[in-house]
Amino acid sequence: MRAVAVPALSDNYIWLLHDEDSGHTAVVDPGDGEAALNGAAARGWTIDQVLITHWHPDHTAGIAAVVAATGAKVWGPEAERAKFAGLDHGLADGDRVQVGSAEAEVWHVPGHTLGHIAYILPGHALVGDTLFAGGCGRLFEGTPEQMHASLQRLRTLPDETIVYPAHEYTLSNYRFLAAEAPGDAAVARRLAEVAALREAGQPTVPTSMAEEKASNLFLRAPDAAEFARLRAAKDSFR
Ligand SMILES: [Zn+2]
């Protein structure tokens, strides 16, 4: 499976998943339909499946345009069905979705929103706004306990798992982590790498579970209380 990031809106990434064998292409969280369609067309791909992680408009506003142009069917969280238009197949924890020749398992990962789901494919994790490179989503709906549990669950994925976040927040995340943990070698190393990538105009995603386990303090938080302290500190960090 090939995964390509299509930059959209101010700092979103729309992920295109292309299965070379079947020719199938899925789009994850099309916040901008035109960007998603152009990204696929530029590679000679036709989108036939839409996967949604959560209801926020910067992840769902382009569903109608993609469906109108391609007839693709839409999968997403059943718990958030009332919050966005166009959902064909509602999903809950433990459900399985065929994505090309691979099968994704659905994990309910509440915290950023209450119905947020992640798509876990063999070796690949589409995590929406739950886990970012060096960070995690803001708690718009859920509690620190919920988000801590969601991150700890993602932490059980194998090190080699490639992680696809939905935003380019990495540099500001590692500036925060470096201020939080000035002596942390893994954080310092990653901050330098990420700063160089951004200076060169390159994306910092995808990331890997190995990298996040090593340098993402939100994933390393030992309990919900420490996670809550860290999340609150990040919310007010400038
Ligand atoms: Zn969101």
How confident is the model over 62-87, as pLDDT tens digits? 999 999 999 999 999 999 999 999 99
> 12-18 and 2-8 as β-strands: parallel, antiparallel, unpaired?
antiparallel
184 is in an annotated binding site: no
Expressed in angstroms and rounded, the spacing between residue 126 Cα and the centre of ligand 1 is: 13
Kindly indicate the confidence band of residue 139, based on its pLDDT and cuts at 50, 70 and 90: very high
Expressed in angstroms and rounded, the spacing between residue 53 Cα and the centre of ligand 1 is: 9
Taken as a whole, the chain contains a residue count of: 238
Mean pLDDT, residues 38-60: 98
> 207-208 and 162-165 as β-strands: parallel, antiparallel, unpaired?
antiparallel
- For residue 203, which phi and psi values (nearest 5 degrees)? -70, 155
* Contact call for residues 91 and 62 (beta carbons, < 8 A): no
> Cα angle at 237 between 235 and 238, to 5 degrees?
125
Q: What is the pLDDT at residue 18?
A: 97
pLDDT (tens digit, 9 = 90+) per residue, 198-212? Answer: 999 999 999 999 999
Res. 25: pLDDT tops 90: yes
How far is 142 from 148, CA to CA, in rounded Å?
10
59 is in an annotated binding site: yes
Mean pLDDT, residues 231-237: 96
Sign of CA dihedral 211, 212, 213, 218: positive
H-state helical runs in 52-108: 57-60, 63-70
Res. 164: pLDDT tops 90: yes
H-state helical runs in the chain: 33-42, 57-60, 63-70, 144-154, 170-180, 185-199, 209-215, 217-220, 224-235
Mean pLDDT, residues 13-32: 96
Give the whole-number percent of the chain exceeding pLDDT 70: 100
Q: What is the pLDDT at residue 238?
A: 84
Give the whole-number percent of the chain exceeding pLDDT 90: 98
How far is 105 from 47, CA to CA, in rounded Å?
20
Q: What is the pLDDT at residue 1?
A: 87
Mean pLDDT, residues 38-64: 98
58 is in an annotated binding site: yes
Expressed in angstroms and rounded, the spacing between residue 72 Cα and the centre of ligand 1 is: 22
Please report the domains of the chain, with CATH numbers, ordered by start residue.
2-235 (3.60.15.10)
Which positions are catalytic?
54, 56, 58-59, 112, 129, 167
- For residue 83, which phi and psi values (nearest 5 degrees)? -100, -10
Expressed in angstroms and rounded, the spacing between residue 30 Cα and the centre of ligand 1 is: 12
* Contact call for residues 77 and 117 (beta carbons, < 8 A): yes
3-state helix, strand, coil in the chain (%, to 5): 35, 25, 35
89 is in an annotated binding site: no
pLDDT (tens digit, 9 = 90+) per residue, 185-196? Answer: 999 999 999 999
Longest dimension (CA), the chain: 52
How far is 80 from 91, CA to CA, in rounded Å?
10
pLDDT (tens digit, 9 = 90+) per residue, 99-138? Answer: 999 999 999 999 999 999 999 999 999 999 999 999 999 9
95 is in an annotated binding site: no
Res. 44: pLDDT tops 90: yes
pLDDT (tens digit, 9 = 90+) per residue, 171-185? Answer: 999 999 999 999 999
Expressed in angstroms and rounded, the spacing between residue 111 Cα and the centre of ligand 1 is: 10
